[in-house]
Amino acid sequence: MRGRGTGHGDGRRGARGAALAAGAATLAALLAGCASGHPGAGDSGASARPGSSTATPARPPAPPLPAETSTPDPGLPPPVVSMDIAHAVAGGGRAVALTIDDGPDPTWTPKVLAVLRHNGVKATFCMIGPQAAAHPGLVKAVVADGHRLCDHSVHHDESMDHEGRAYQRAEILTAAGQITHASGGVAPQYYRAPGGAFTPYSRQTAAAHGLRPLGWNVDAKDWERPGTAAILATVKEELGNGPTVLFHDGGGDRHQTVQALEQLLPWLRAHGYRFGFPVR
């Protein structure tokens, strides 16, 4: 699977590993009043890093990065929800927002749903429009279990930020229609650009149709299939970046994802985390 971004700003984000960490540290140092953290992580609800012996008071939210916010273009339909890229969990506090991308998949989505149901956890499923259209029963099952829907475009084109406005609009709105139809009338509440390939135009277009742009703070990297232990280690290590965690139920063999969730969800609850949906 292709490399993925961080979902923290406009434009394609392909940096990984040390480059991502270095860039995050540099940007964080430039933010006035922000002592540490990850770009966009000022919305984090976590009060202490997992494994810490004592909890520290939650930091006041840091100002968003300029790339994440913009004044709406008066020449376009106005947003009806915020067009800023969401990273925070509704309600704040020590919380995690699970997001599941690239499905629905007839093999892996039911397994992910079973793990979530067993642990009493709700998540946001970022669906590819044609996948939703091909598997409406799975979309309805996601909704029936109380999860939220997110538009993840038609073609999962990680370079769509380099395409024209008509293309971007079609990717967003066609997928939204496919997901809504497959669900039986329940519309997605968010839009996540493939690979974080947001633009101001795509964010305003989504927000004008009630879709809050959705980023992420923690990439579980389950799409690399590095092994269950590696997935768990990545999430636990990066939770200090912020509360929104990215997993996948589509795009390939996801048995490691299922196994990781089986272990991670009880661990999070045991360490004082609650589960919530991203802010709207």
Q: Convert the pLDDT of each residue in 125-136 to its tens digit.
A: 999 999 999 999
Give Cα 4 to chain centroid, integer Å.
12
Is pLDDT of 59 > 50? no
- DSSP-based three-state secondary structure for 149: strand
Q: Are 121 and 265 spatial neighbours (Cβ–Cβ below 8 Å)?
A: yes
In a domain, residue 196? The reply is: yes
Is pLDDT of 13 > 70? no
Is pTM beyond 0.85 here?
no
In a domain, residue 18? The reply is: no
CATH code, domain carrying 174:
3.20.20.370
Residue 249 structural domain: 80-85+95-274
In a domain, residue 145? The reply is: yes
How high is the pLDDT of residue 18?
A: 34
Is pLDDT of 83 > 80? yes
CB proximity list for 192: less than 8 A, separation 6 or greater: 7, 99, 101, 126, 150, 151, 152, 213, 214, 215, 216
For residue 4, what are the CA distances in angstroms to 215, 222, 259? 12, 11, 22
Q: Which residues pair with 275 in a beta bridge?
A: 96
How high is the pLDDT of residue 66?
A: 53
Peptide bond into 266 cis (omega under 30): no
Calpha distance 42→60 (Å, rounded): 7
In a domain, residue 22? The reply is: no
Q: Are 84 and 90 spatial neighbours (Cβ–Cβ below 8 Å)?
A: no
Is pLDDT of 21 > 50? no
State the total domains in the chain.
1
Using alpha carbons, select from 58, 46, 51, 86 the residue that is nearest to residue 243.
46
Is 248 a known active-site residue? Answer: yes
Residues 163-181: tens digit of each pLDDT: 999 999 999 999 999 999 9
End-to-end CA distance of the chain: 29
Q: Which one from 10, 84, 101, 249 is the annotated catalytic residue? A: 101
Residues 32-48: tens digit of each pLDDT: 333 333 333 322 222 22
Of 45-49, 62-66, 120-124, 213-217, the least confident:
45-49
* Mean pLDDT in residue range 250-273: 98
* Mean pLDDT in residue range 71-78: 94
Can you state the angle between helices 108-119 and 255-270, rounded to 10 degrees? 10
The percent of residues in the chain predicted with pLDDT above 70, rounded, is 75
Q: Which residues pair with 278 in a beta bridge?
A: 89
How high is the pLDDT of residue 70?
A: 74
Residues 217-250: tens digit of each pLDDT: 999 999 999 999 999 999 999 999 999 999 999 9
Q: Which one from 38, 135, 152, 248 is the annotated catalytic residue? A: 248
How confident is residue 9, by pLDDT bands cut at 50, 70 and 90? low
Calpha distance 230→218 (Å, rounded): 14
In a domain, residue 20? The reply is: no
Is 249 a known active-site residue? Answer: no
How confident is residue 20, by pLDDT bands cut at 50, 70 and 90? very low
* Mean pLDDT in residue range 5-18: 47
Q: What is the DSSP letter of 158?
A: T
How high is the pLDDT of residue 67?
A: 57
How high is the pLDDT of residue 2?
A: 38
